[in-house]
Amino acid sequence: MKSNLIRIIGIDPGLRRTGWGVIESDGVRLSYVASGHVKSTDKEELSYRLRELYEGITSVLASFHPQEAAVEETFVNDNPRSTLKLGQARGMAMLAPAMKGIRVAEYPPNLIKKTVVGAGHAEKKQIQMMVGMLLPRAKFDSADEADALAIAICHANHRGIRQLAKMVAS
């Protein structure tokens, strides 16, 4: 019998701290593998901070060998400089798996929340609670890790639809 087991990394990009979470999906069954975060040094120049994020994510990929990756799409906030920096951190979060030949899916924040919590405007605490319920073995110390796990869960739930859409388009 062929297994549908797939290992997925969810990445919640941030310049100060990028959360990551690795899960395995076997159809509808999800299991927690690991989670954590990659920090950049606040006092460093932007280019070095981005390198820290890239190297940190690359190290996680080498340790856990995910087959697919998912990243949260950037939301535009009131501060254009913050949005730009977040976009650059997101670039590193997408580049690291792509450089290893891992396809990267992108999901808007409201879809992630709706998939995990059932409401597109859920609060951080609700996301953490639902991630804990969906992945009872999960141990996460921050909202960044919980968000990354939520991104991975969202991808596990939507990856079949994405694959079908690609087949229909080709």
Give the active site residue among 52, 144, 145, 147: 144
147 is catalytic: no
The Cα angle at residue 60 between residues 162 and 93, in degrees rounded to 5: 55
The active-site residue out of 12, 52, 68, 145 is 12
Q: Helix (H, G, I), strand (E, B), or coil: what is residue 56? A: helix
- Which helix (DSSP H) or strand (DSSP E) does residue 160 occupy? helix 143-169
Name every residue whose Cβ is closer than 8 Å to that of residue 2 and which is 6 or more positions away in sequence: none
Catalytic residue among 24, 44, 45, 72: 72
Task: State both tokens at 9.
Answer: 């990394």
- Spatial contact of 80 and 8, defined as CB atoms under 8 Å apart: no
Residue 140, both tokens? 């996460």
Q: Is 144 tagged catalytic?
A: yes
Provide the edge-to-edge strand list for the sheet that holds 68-72. 29-39, 17-26, 5-12, 68-72, 104-107
Catalytic center residues = 12, 72, 144
